[in-house]
Structure 1
């Protein structure tokens, strides 16, 4: 437990909330006090208890409800602080509505800032998604903020591209009063320097990021020199905290929290953080990690809190303080997360502040743009190809065709790259699930939840395979000989499981990372390094998001301001009807001695029956998740049946018809493989690279004429 004395500051100051409450002792006598530090994290424009994706209320989230929890804490203790760790401007569609769909009027505040102004924040940090709509919109939004906005490791780029002046105010010194006694509190803001990579399309040459630990090292002495009695770090970060000492601090700085707390445990009194869209303390992933106390909310002894996602929790740190002879001393501390309940009231102040924009957003998402003949869901999009992911890719190919037809790259064959975005990152309820029938804008926003813009990169065949190899880290390595249960899916987030549309390929989950992509083909031809592709993706991925190979901005051939989601809306409007499709990838069938399982939404149980799936089955529910078994044996049986049928057909052919029969068998093999989740990869013949490349380009040109 943290125990530290630092010089106090006898500075006249305003009380944090209300009037000073005396404790009946002079300042020279020792007195005990309690300070509660509250934090909201990863709000992502979720202001109201409403899910615009589903066009339905969601009574367990929303900043309006979180504010009710804030007021409850303040009612019981006048000694409080309130912080926010960033990622506020983007997420729920109301954020995009204010930024793009119906831009803010000249005198209209951003509804997100208007809501936060009601809450009296003491300081707000910057998150990576603050930049999603560009610098101009971010600045326009912050103009109306009545709270300090802090960040210490983002700088104006000078003429040489080096760090110049701080882009934001690096830290604030809060003069507050605790039970009538003045206290000076230093609050330092830091964020992943990878922001400048993920948003290189908007920030290159304008903002430079510096490492988190170096920044803390730089500013701690300054904060101490200004007489801070307490030091709080407000960090947008904390990913892979569960890895503990095994994590690696990369140049993007997302994994720095564990090492930050370890290095400065004698200098920092409290940490509020967010980026992982989870809770600390409380998430079982943080159990039994060296240096973490997941019950009391301590990281290397420092009271720390991460308050969930979308306003579903309020993080609260409780510090025990002693004031003696003009000095403040921290004698202990812990943290907790207070959940938003269905019965939690939405604060009327915020409801009123965002009412007009909320109603406009609901009207927008209810517009119908097409009809789907098939369900579109992501329950199993991490274990098999799905129409939901394909639809995103089809729209991107369609848009890419239009764009490149006017450029020097018009003859390049086009592929598309997209992941299942809403596939359980934030919990078992966060899955896209669109029923057959009319398709609204809200459904499209559910499929593509981020305000990314469309980018196109040029990659050769080898580079595309490298991208797929990293994507295949979605899976754990399976040992077929083990009889005990094995988990199929890794801890990689679903939005990093990019699937390539336009290729056929298999993923061998028994192989180690980097060796899993099997038999990749384009139009029946093996993918080679000599092939060149135009790959449609988004600005985040093309500029380095996810740290994929060859996706660092250097291979970008087209950068657009048009949103991927808008392309998806245009595409569905154009085709009118979304029909069933054929899968382009699958897991290689293999015999396993024991069960192989994965987590998904319990709602996926109904989808199995509705879709007639046989390669997955429901097992049970664990901690709110549905547990499913993946049946490799089913794929093996289907593959075997398909091969046997083809053999019988070939044997029955007359010798004089062998040539024609062989061609029909080849086509039959391809069709059956597609139907059986592509259980056998067709077109496996090896031909000379030069011949393959010529055929590849010729077929690419033919395919361009008949995309659908």
Structure 2
């Protein structure tokens, strides 16, 4: 019998978050990322692979000044990210949680102008019960000689979106269990459509260790990739995202999984070899991550949205407000020793958006310069360098004290001379972002004392913080998840989730006021003796 071997290539982008140009918007320096560079790889792969499927796994319409400018300032023309996907001839895109951030109008207009379908089996219209984005799967057909191959691609989205998104952006929309809805549609694809290869593209990640299945985070239902693999071994490939992790060539219960990081730093690639013997059988499957820094950007793609980028760059350097007083940073260590106007301002932004009166934030990097005089959008993204969102947690007084003790570990025990940063915060990786400064409470840290006993004053509204009383605190999503060894916050009740990047919240705060005052209430300080 004549042997038929068909090689199938699947390319996955995920969590692009608006990056097309290889640029760091904070300083306009080159950065090796973005769809412009991914485009070069895609075009090369198309030349070398006849049987190719191209999928975006979600979170593409939000995340850079480019997307913010289009959504909030000037939405003329087709969404620039959609324009790029259309030009690259994507086969489909999965709906990510950040697709909802700018509201339903922008999302549905983007979907309408797409030359490819958007997929999500578990996002439905509350009134009709129908899937919100139409058919949640596509079928691609290939052939070798007279033998046809059917490939099914099913889209799923983390159902945790109502925990983050503004209610107005998702009104009338219901988010069902990805695992439960997945079962129904997997069955349809296998039994009714009779696909030979089943690919599930899930905008979600993993809540368990990929090797031993032990929980790696709280099992909330946000990231159920492991569960999908264990319950549905009939899935051949599970494409994932959402967590911004780098996962390649991993097989769980026979399912090949892939996750190509974020911001277009990688393109994921699946290689599948099939043999025809009374039907198609997969004889080999593997995955790899292609690093974009090894490729030049595609100039045709960049040129296609150059007008959007030019307008964004002009806007970045346009004043949106000004500071009355001085918010500049002259010495980063001084900022971390006593209340500073920039930190107080950031905490005020957080408190307003969280609708609470206690907040914590960080000076993430020593390159931050603060604000003085006119403020531009570029100033904002230069000072607030991470794409953090905010969460309001309900914590105990003892959690606040423990968090302050963790922050106090940032300093070496003082024995005279200059105050120094602990080696635990500078070895291997610089971790200035893991030192927090608070507003809404009054406290004093004595770094001449041993670690664990440095909080020497702690008050809320003039009274000692009660260790077993509940307090609502707003902080960034990284810290709220326990990141930076702030384990006291992990699994604490989330009272409110604000899923908008902090840079956007800062901009909105300034735009509303036009003038912000450089103020400090001196609610905290670091001392070297009592």
Give the TM interval when normalised to the shorter protein: 0.7 to 0.9
SS class of match (1:53):
coil
Alignment partner of 1:367 out of 309, 313, 318: 318
Alignment partner of 2:252 out of 284, 288, 299: 299
- Partners of 2:238 and 2:256 within 8 A in 1: yes
Question: Does residue 1:333 correspond to 2:271, yes or no?
Answer: no
Alignment partner of 2:377 out of 436, 441, 451: 441
After TM superposition, list the pairs within 5 Å mapping 1:189-228 onto structure 2: 189-203=155-169, 205-225=171-191, 226-228=193-195
Question: Does residue 1:171 correspond to 2:136, yes or no?
Answer: yes
Question: Does residue 1:43 correspond to 2:16, yes or no?
Answer: yes
- d(CA) in 1 for partners of 2:398, 2:135: 39
Distance 1:436 1:170, change over 3 A: same
Distance 1:84 1:252, change over 3 A: farther
Alignment partner of 2:495 out of 531, 552, 562: 552
Distance 1:179 1:519, change over 3 A: farther
Q: What residue ranges of structure 1 are gaps of 5+ in the alignment?
A: 1-27, 282-295, 405-413, 424-430, 479-484, 585-673, 682-708
- d(CA) in 2 for partners of 1:263, 1:498: 42
Distance 1:396 1:250, change over 3 A: closer
Offset of residue 390 of structure 1: 3.8
Alignment partner of 1:143 out of 77, 93, 112: 112
- d(CA) in 2 for partners of 1:301, 1:417: 46
- d(CA) in 2 for partners of 1:310, 1:678: 41
Question: Does residue 1:75 correspond to 2:47, yes or no?
Answer: yes
Offset of residue 494 of structure 1: 11
Deviations 1:638-697 (A, max 9, x none): xxxxxxxxxxxxxxxxxxxxxxxxxxxxxxxxxxxx2xx25578xxxxxxxxxxxxxxxx
Alignment partner of 1:236 out of 175, 200, 203: 203
- Partners of 1:126 and 1:149 within 8 A in 2: yes
Distance 1:441 1:173, change over 3 A: closer
- d(CA) in 2 for partners of 1:213, 1:517: 46
Distance 1:568 1:518, change over 3 A: farther
TM-score, normalised via structure 1 length: 0.59
Q: What residue ranges of structure 2 are gaps of 5+ in the alignment?
A: 411-422, 481-488
- d(CA) in 2 for partners of 1:234, 1:349: 28
Deviations 1:77-99 (A, max 9, x none): 11111111100111011111111
- d(CA) in 2 for partners of 1:385, 1:374: 12
Deviations 1:455-503 (A, max 9, x none): 9x8x9xx85637748978989x99xxxxxx97999x9x99999864121
- d(CA) in 1 for partners of 2:263, 2:176: 28
SS class of match (1:415):
coil
Residue of structure 2 in register with 1:14 after alignment: none
Residue of structure 1 in register with 2:345 after alignment: 391
Q: RMSD value over aligned CA atoms?
A: 4.7
- d(CA) in 1 for partners of 2:366, 2:20: 21
Residue of structure 2 in register with 1:352 after alignment: 303
SS class of match (1:305):
strand
- d(CA) in 1 for partners of 2:265, 2:361: 25
After TM superposition, list the pairs within 5 Å mapping 1:508-587 onto structure 2: 520-522=458-460, 524-528=462-466, 549=492, 551-553=494-496, 564-570=505-511, 574-575=515-516, 584=524
Offset of residue 183 of structure 1: 1.5
The structure with more radius of gyration: 1
Question: Does residue 1:276 correspond to 2:276, yes or no?
Answer: no
- d(CA) in 2 for partners of 1:519, 1:529: 13
Alignment partner of 1:99 out of 68, 71, 74: 71
Deviations 1:288-329 (A, max 9, x none): xxxxxxxx333344222211211111110111211223x111
Distance 1:526 1:121, change over 3 A: same
Residue of structure 2 in register with 1:157 after alignment: 126
Residue of structure 2 in register with 1:503 after alignment: 441
Distance 1:49 1:678, change over 3 A: same
- Partners of 2:377 and 2:507 within 8 A in 1: no
Distance 1:252 1:201, change over 3 A: farther
Deviations 1:348-369 (A, max 9, x none): 3321221111011111111354
- d(CA) in 1 for partners of 2:139, 2:275: 19
Offset of residue 387 of structure 1: 6.9
Offset of residue 565 of structure 1: 1.9
Distance 1:551 1:472, change over 3 A: farther
TM-score, normalised via structure 2 length: 0.77
